[in-house]
A and B are shown apart, each in its own frame.
Chain A
């Protein structure tokens, strides 16, 4: 039997807002699905477009750039 589809998402999280927001979500115990793997960056503007394409071509089902 096929396993239900669980997407693998790579998130690029800005250290100052999205990553801090992730921390706050933790402190507030906001529950969300465990499908994302976060890469902390110093600014979402640091994420090169090539990196997004590269991530998808390496098998990620989605990319989140948050900042």
Chain B
């Protein structure tokens, strides 16, 4: 069953076009949105959360337009923004009081339990927290009301590996709680490799691919060769070539791997690099 459907989403800014983006976030899946800075990831997530007004297309939650949902239905989407967006003058205790009046299904017990788990002081103003603590607070808020879809915009950006790992653990925990779904954007693709089932790669406002992570990583291999050796390759079999000073790195579908080249697998980072900076043969 589809939790979130994004259909032909279009948004035009000066010098940028999010062009006809279509993909779905099925229930029970973690979907990773990858792409370079400025590729359109935050615009897509903003359209889901209602902070960006698209020029065309639609965003459907369980088959209904996001804009037509009631407050209770809209709050089935939990979210963590890239800049937390919390009132940082408040302490965790004050936030509990405020959010208990904003979210219809707020769970104070769960909120304080999460804050305790993250070692967040209850009485200290959030503005005095470190960046990692601030992001943990935002995640504690997002996980303290009943939701069915969790949207995270660059939640691990700028954080140390320990905090990043804790945040990814929270995503795991969230998925244990029933028929839920997660849409997470990040340019730290190693994080997404750990937790995602499906990868949507956005490049210059367009979806380049949308497929299961394991299948994607299985689909391609890479090898290095002299530039002269490129002439021997079938252009139809080469996905992208990255020209280097010493030669070239070549991304090919596994079944097209030419004889005689020693190859290795590719990570999401490398696939992104090939598509962002590589050329067709």
A and B form one complex: no
